[in-house]
Every structure is written in C-alpha cells, then in structure tokens.
A = this chain, B = another copy of it.
C-alpha cells in the first residue's frame, strides 16, 4: 500500500526505516513502525491520522527531542541524534511559561538564541498583532483563553524565522474564521521565508488546503499508509476550497481514512 510520491528535488528531511517503542510498566507500546519519508526543502507536508497513531511521536523524533529506537533520521545533512535547535516547534500542548507575559513568552525564543532583542520585540509585536493578540501582550498565560494561549505559542515558534517549522495541531483550539486567517498568514510566511513545514492536523481540508503533500498514517503501530500529492496552484486562496479538485482530494483522504477501519459502524 506504501505508495511513495515523487521524491522532491532538494531533500531537507530524510526518515529511513524509523521505529519507536515506548517501554512501559505493563509491556511496551509500539508507537511507530518502519517509517520512510523524505521532505524537500521548502515543502509543506501535513500529517493526518487517527488519534494515538504516533503523529506527535514522529514530530518529536524529527526534532531530536526523543530518541528513536531503530532507523535513521537526517535533517539537512545532519544525522539527528540530539536536539535539533534549527527549528521552530508548536507543541500539541501550548508550553507557555506561566511566569512570563504573552510578549515575553514569544521573546524567550530570541533571548535563548541571543538574537538582538529590540528587533525581536518589534517582530514579536507584529506576530502577536497578526494573531489578534495586540491587546494581550502583557497578559499572563493564566489570563488567556485556550485559543489565545495556542496563538502565543505559534508566535513563539515563528519569531526566529526557522528554516524548519514543526507544528502539532497548531490551530486545534481556534474557531473556523481565525483558523482560516492564520492558515493564510502561515502560507504567506512560508512563501516569504522558504520554510519547510511538518504540520500535524486533524482536519483533512486544512491538510489539503495548506500542503504540497499529505501523509496519512495508520493506527498503532503507526505506519505511513499513503502519501497524496496535492496539485493545487499557489498561492492558495480560500475560494479554492470550493473547487472540485479540492473536494476530490478531501474525499480521497476521507476514503483512505475510512479504509483504516478506525470507523465503527453507525449505531
């Protein structure tokens, strides 16, 4: 079933036969099995798959934050065996530092990287404005709604214009409108900065709308079930979602999903 799509020109990420097993008290959990995936430089790849199939785990392996059990991951020319700091990550849980205001939470990225602070502050303000949080720069995480916290963590990941962006359901807590807006903003930023994006989502239409390729993962142990090339023109426009081609893609993905047997019969 593994239909590998045409390999992109300049590979940025190369995942070869990677497996991951979590050792548990009551036996091991086999989270990822034999993953093969190559992502080109500047490519936007989305990952969809049922809950618990190993998407977040794969993202953590890519970032070098968790070690893999078998196989090989290369990012750029580098073999990943320790944390890779040349990335921006949006974690599934917004990991905000509760002792810092929204603005300071974004700025930590610059502080740690020893980037010039004044310019960073400028950019952080712009990013917060982009996600409509200009009025909450000084609010502490406790004083923010779930969606607001998530938006702060997105700004943090974007601050330093990383060459590789890893996003774990970044828009999950946002309403449809804000989400549409941020999707467009994200695409613009990617185009401007030639970022490679590894994007986990639960929304098939979001995946289709944003991506060059969509990876469908099968449930435990997570495998790459199928990779779909999305052949839609760029820049993407919201109106494209009404296109037949677009709906064809979403339908195809939905069918693959259903084929995974995740879905029980209707009761």
Contact = CB atoms under 8 A, between A and B. Distances in A.
Contacts of A178: 50-51, 262
Interface in A208-262: 237-238, 254, 257-258, 260, 262
B202 A50 contact: no
A132 to B, nearest CB: 8
B267 A22 contact: no
How many copies of this kind of chain does the complex include?
2
Contacts of A148: 51-52
Nearest to A264: B181
A35 to B, nearest CB: 16
A142 to B, nearest CB: 10
Interface size class of A (residues with CB under 8 A): 35 or more
A92 to B, nearest CB: 4
22 contacts: A22-B143, A24-B139, A48-B175, A51-B151, A51-B174, A51-B175, A52-B144, A52-B145, A52-B148, A92-B146, A146-B169, A147-B202, A172-B172, A172-B173, A173-B202, A176-B202, A176-B203, A176-B254, A176-B257, A177-B263, A179-B202, A181-B264
